[in-house]
């Protein structure tokens, strides 16, 4: 990286990716309502090869408490059912010979609190990742100044920009966590 703008853009891009990963993780957390994200990442052993469920079937939610999985290859029904059970999602799939129905039971208070703890842990990991990106960007900025490529004023301005980006991304992470907690705790 030769310029401060490259360092800053790279840091912001990495922070955005961290936020995207967190959103994907949150989508996979079970709430009281059905979501295709709950099962689409489940690995199914398809002809001896681990394959994501979303690559083997259409996943839909025709009702708020039901996920319907219609495989492209009906011979995979049994393996899909086994994979969902093995994923330990707290749901029991039902195979009717053409598709798999996954009813989503109501969450009890204890399970809701466990899910919120998982969400908090995931958001803290995302915060740490954003702070690590900030540290790396700051190191690069300081190295550019040490090599004489930028002045002290430019270095200070760049460090301030990195900090602003960090604060903004951590605020977004906190907002996502707050929304997820409200969604999980809603009865």
pLDDT in tens, 136-172: 999 999 999 998 888 999 999 999 999 999 999 999 9
Same domain, 61 and 129: no
74, 103, 132: which is the final residue of a domain?
A: 103
Mean pLDDT of the chain: 88
Number of domains in the chain: 2
Q: For residues 25-51, give the mean pLDDT.
A: 82
Residue 74 pLDDT greater than 90, yes or no: no
pLDDT at 175: 95
Q: Are residues 99 and 140 in the same domain?
A: no
Domain check: are 175 and 118 in the same one? yes
112 and 180 housed in the same domain:
yes
Q: Are residues 8 and 46 in the same domain?
A: no
DSSP string, the chain: --SHHHHHHHHHHHHHHHHHHHHHHHHHS--SS--THHHHT-EEEETTEEEEGGGTEEEEEEETTEEEEEESSGGGHHHHHHHHHHTT-S---EE-SS-EEEE-PPPPHHHHHHHHHHHHHHHHHHHHHHHHHHHHHHHHHHHHHHTTSS-HHHHHHHHHHHHHHHHHHHHHHHHHHHHHHHHHH--
Tell me: do 128 and 175 sit in the same domain: yes
Give the chain's end-to-end CA distance (angstroms, integer): 50
Q: Is pLDDT at 19 greater than 90 in this prediction? A: yes
CATH number at residue 159: 1.10.132.20
Percent of the residues in the chain that have a pLDDT greater than 90, as a whole number: 41
Instruction: Determine the Cα–Cα distance for residues 187 and 183; give it in Å rounded to an integer.
Output: 9
The pLDDT value recorded for residue 164 is 95
Q: Of 53, 81, 103, which residue constitutes the final position of a domain?
A: 103
**One domain, residues 93 and 138:** no
Domain that holds residue 60: 33-103
Domain boundary (53, 77, 103) is at: 103
Instruction: Report yes or no on whether pTM surpasses 0.75.
Output: no
Task: Output the pLDDT for position 34.
Answer: 76
Residues 75 and 131 grouped into a single domain = no
Give the per-residue pLDDT at 4.
87
Rounded to an integer, the average pLDDT of 18-26 is 90
Tell whether 136 and 95 lie within a shared domain.
no
* Across 167-183, average pLDDT: 93
Highest mean pLDDT among 28-37, 41-50, 118-127, 176-185: 118-127
pLDDT band at 132 (very low <50, low <70, confident <90, very high): very high
Q: Assess whether pLDDT exceeds 90 at residue 39.
A: no
């Amino acid at each position: 990286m030769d310029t401060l703008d490259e360092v800053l853009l790279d840091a912001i891009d990495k922070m955005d990716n961290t936020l995207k990963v967190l959103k994907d993780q949150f989508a996979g957390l079970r709430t009281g309502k059905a979501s295709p994200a709950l099962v689409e990442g489940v690995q199914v052993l398809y002809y001896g090869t681990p394959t994501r469920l979303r690559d083997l079937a259409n996943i839909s939610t025709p009702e708020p408490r039901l996920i319907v999985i219609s495989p492209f290859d009906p011979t995979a029904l049994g393996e899909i059912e086994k994979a969902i059970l093995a994923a330990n999602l707290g749901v029991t799939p039902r195979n009717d010979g053409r598709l798999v129905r996954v009813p989503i039971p109501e969450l009890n208070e204890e399970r809701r609190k466990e899910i919120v703890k998982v969400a908090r842990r995931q958001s803290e990991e995302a915060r740490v990742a954003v702070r690590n990106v900030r540290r790396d960007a700051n190191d690069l900025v300081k190295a550019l100044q040490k090599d004489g490529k930028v002045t002290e004023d430019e270095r200070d301005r760049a460090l301030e920009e990195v900090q602003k980006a960090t604060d903004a991304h951590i605020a977004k992470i906190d907002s996502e966590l707050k929304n997820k907690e409200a969604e999980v705790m809603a009865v």
